[in-house]
Structure 1
Amino acid sequence: MKLGIIGYGERIRHVVNEVIKEDSRCEIAAIVDIRNQEIQQQRQPGLEQTRFWDTTEEMLAKSQLDGVLIGTRCLLHTEMALKVLPTGIPLFLEKPVATTMEDLRKLKAGSERTHSPVVVSFPLRVTSLVQLVKEIVDSGKIGTVEHVQAINNVPYGGVYFHNWYRDEALTGGLFLQKATHDFDYINYVLQMQPVSVCAMTSKQIFKGDKPAGLQCADCSENRTCEESTAFAAPEIRDRWTHCSFAQDTGNEDSGSALIQYESGMHVSYSQNFFARNKAASRGARFLGYKGTVEFDFYTGTVKVFMHHTSRVETYVIDAEEDHFGGDRALARNVVELMQGQGTSVSSLDDGLLSALLCLKARESAQSGTFQRIDWQS
């Protein structure tokens, strides 16, 4: 089966490798990337027969493709998706599906006019951990979920201040970059519609008066600064190049949101980008009247605490695979859709809702107001 790639970056290369592992008949038949010449010169394995195109339109018109994967910079996700959707070719779309409300509305309208099967890159919802949590919630063991407490303390948060991610014009901010995953798995477990959100963000650490454009390699403090990447491993040093304390460093370094759902229950969510090492944590507590289920991706554990007995159940899940098997599950789903089987496990509707939540949270933080989660406001 022939794959077409729009934006051949690191993440999409990983996804493609997972797809090929699922079905060895898959091959990269076509690539569109602003670095076409550079990629060809690298002579990467698996690209010997790949055709490189200058435009997405040309690739779609002249290639016989069974699937398309979009891995461009975030601000181009909507534009490229709107070019693929009318073709009916199964599509893998990186998150976030849009970085502005204007783009999100365009994508929603485009999705309503077409029927291309879409898999949005939400691996967390299909991890073994979240699947177990959903199984426990659906069983009724803890009662109906009436409160959720979720956190994401990111130990590799420096990437959002050293790398191209530091430019908010490209990323749309860190709700769209990180919380979009967490909002999605919470929506998936709850199976309820969010109705309103209020949020706050802070930038307390990664700010300063270093000159714009300063790189760690050129800084006189690069041997004493805790954030210096000047002497890091090459894969970090060569990509995480810029100063985290320069005047042009974008992005908040912490953020929180309160989300109300249609039943009246609410979710609290908080993310942090200067926690490091063993302070890392990502997961949630789902609380019902009869019990609580909690999980954490970094420890690979799920615990159930019964409220009216002393019983505690602990499940430990092997974390050998990327995203606890989430990437593999998405890749398997892509192959199924290319074969004309099954339905998406993380649909475009899921991607639209998560992005809407993130954009409304961003607007709330900027304006200091509660925001309705709807398409009219």
Structure 2
Amino acid sequence: MTADSALILPVGVVGWGGRGGGIAREGYRALGGLLQPVACVEPNDDRYEQGCRDFPSRPRRHPSVTALLDAEPLGGVIIGSPNEFHLEHLRAFAGRRVPVLLEKPLDATFERICDVVRFAAAYPAPILVGHCMRFAPILRAAKTMLARGDIGQVCSVRFVQNCHYGNGIFHGWRRERACSGGQLIEKATHDFDIMLWFLETWPQTVAALAGRHAFGGDKPADLRCRDCADRATCPESIQN
């Protein structure tokens, strides 16, 4: 794949072996190489190698976001680290003017989410949030219908999040509320974004009801599918 070198945007990636690298690699392919991941922060050796297997080059690896920004002349940075680190990684950009694509959600707690918003308001370069569901064809079609007035004035909306996939979510860092913020932040952030996008307005008041349900039955919380004797027959096993 070749691209006009004058048009190439060199980007850094925080979380090369996970979501950040996935966004960067898809961007590279979709833009014909114009978006070029040249450097990264990825503390896990295996995940770094895993990310490189699906890419034609090996981004230069740095031990921290600060080291990445100090060493590399970047046109932008993709932050795709685990949720609980988003604010910490974003703060490394203080005093700089590097555009940022921040994976949703903004962070894992309400207080840190508010700090991200405050940081972005004072930052002199763009900080964008990756609300990727806006690009789903069915939702773009619905947005077009609403904009044309095909169904008239919208008086009420209801979103139901039936997540029929993602058992693996409960076998990694996302299973811990302190790391992910919980599934309301992880998944419903899409629904709220789409709702605001569809309606092009903001709520005046907000009310919420919540319940907490445990996942895992009578198995110990630290048991992983790969170590469980029932992994071949359990309906919740990520192998099934």
TM class by shorter chain equals 0.7 to 0.9
Tell me the residue number matched to 1:29: 38
Q: Is the 8 Å Cα contact of residues 15 and 21 (structure 2) preserved in structure 1?
A: no
Secondary structure in structure 2 of the residue aligned to 1:29: strand
Q: Give the number of equivalent residue pairs.
A: 229
* TM-score, L = length of structure 2: 0.85
Aligned twin of 2:173: 164
Percent identity for Structure 1 against Structure 2: 29
- Correspondence for 2:209: 199
1:359 paired residue number: none
Distance apart, 1:193 and its partner CA: 0.9
SS for the counterpart of 1:69 is: strand
From 2, 5, 8, the equivalent of 2:13 is: 5
Q: Report the secondary structure of 1:152's partner residue.
A: coil
Deviation at 1:82, TM superposition (A): 2.7
**Which of these residues, 172, 181, 188, is aligned with residue 179 of structure 1?**
188
* Amino acid of the structure 1 residue aligned with 2:23: V
Aligned residue in 2 for 1:239: none
After superposition, the C-alpha distances for 1:90-148 in whole angstroms (9 at most, x for unaligned) are: 21111101221221222122112113212211111233222221222122232221111
- RMSD between aligned alpha carbons? 2.3
Change (3 A) 1:59 1:218: closer
How much does 1:73 deviate?
A: 0.6
Matched residue, 1:58: 67
Separation (CA, whole Å) in 2 of partners of 1:127 and 1:37: 31
Check whether the contact 1:31–1:53 (CA below 8 A) recurs between aligned residues.
yes
Return the offset for 1:12: 2.1
Does the alignment pair 1:16 with 2:34? no
Residue 33 and residue 115 in structure 1: after superposition, are their counterparts in 2 closer, same or farther (change >3 A)? same
Q: Which moved more, 1:68-77 or 1:151-160?
A: 151-160
Unaligned residue ranges in structure 2 (runs of 5+) = 1-8
Name whichever of 67-76 and 3-12 sits farther off.
3-12
| Residues 49-198 of structure 1 mapped to structure 2, 5 A cutoff | 50-84=59-93, 86-194=95-203, 195-198=205-208
Q: Which has the higher contact order (CA 8 A, sep 6+)?
A: 1
- With normalisation by structure 1, the TM-score equals 0.56
Q: Per-residue deviation at 1:219?
A: 3.2
Q: Residue type matched to 1:199 in 2?
A: L
C-alpha displacement of 1:221 = 3.3
Q: Which has the larger radius of gyration?
A: 1
Deviation string 1:144-184 (CA, Å, 9 cap, x unpaired) is: 21111211211114123223221111100001110001110
SS in structure 1 of the partner of residue 27 of structure 2: helix
Match of 1:311 in 2: none
Give SS of 2:113's match.
helix
Write out the 4+ residue segments of structure 1 that deviate beyond 6 Å after TM superposition.
Answer: none
Supply the distance in 2 between the matched residues of 1:145 and 1:27 (Cα, whole angstroms).
42
Quote the Cα distance in structure 2 between the aligned partners of 1:202 and 1:117.
Answer: 36
> How has the CA–CA distance of structure 1 residues 139 and 166 changed in structure 2, closer, same or farther, with 3 Å as cutoff?
same
- What is the CA distance between 1:202 and its match in structure 2? 4.1
CA contact (8 A) 1:2 1:67 kept: yes
| Aligned ranges 1:276-315 → 2 under 5 Å | none
Secondary structure of the residue aligned to 2:210 is: strand
3-state SS of the aligned residue for 1:5? strand
In structure 1, what is the equivalent of residue 221 of structure 2?
212
- Alignment partners' CA distance in 1, 2:46 and 2:223: 28
Judge conservation of contact 1:85–1:116 (CA < 8 Å) in 2.
Answer: no
Structure number with higher strand proportion? 1
Deviation of 1:39 (Å): 2.1
Question: Deviations 1:239-272 (Å, cap 9, x if unpaired)?
Answer: xxxxxxxxxxxxxxxxxxxxxxxxxxxxxxxxxx
